Amino acid sequence: MKATTSAKQKKSSAPTAPLPLKVSAIGLTQTEADTLTKLEQEQSDLIGRVISRSAVVRALLRLVDKKIEPLELRDEIEIELSSGRRWGHDAVKPI
C-alpha cells in the first residue's frame, strides 16, 4: 500500500503543462512599441535570458487583471478613444 501512496504523490508534484497560446496581433504607436522594446530589454537584463515581447505583454495583462481597477482602465481607454484613432484606420490618413 505504501507504494501506491508514494506513486500518487509523485504524480501530483509533476509540473503541469502550460496553457496553449492564441496568436493575437495588436497595433501600437511607435512610442508604445519603443516602450515594449525597453521593457523587454530590462526584463532580459534582470532575468539573464532572452525575454520575448509576448512574455512581457502576458505578464502585463496578469498585472492589470490583479492590480488595476476597472475605472482606471476605462479612463485610459477614454484617452485612447479621444485621440481620434479608430479601428482599422490610421488617424493621419483621410477616411
List, for residues 29-76, the tens digit of each pLDDT value: 999 999 999 999 999 999 999 999 999 999 999 999 999 999 999 999
* pLDDT score, position 93: 56
pLDDT band at 89 (very low <50, low <70, confident <90, very high): low
- Dist CA 88 CA 94 (whole Å): 12
Residue 61 DSSP SS3 = helix
* pLDDT score, position 37: 97
Q: Which residues pair with 86 in a beta bridge?
A: 89
Is the overall model pTM greater than 0.85, yes or no? no
* pLDDT score, position 17: 86
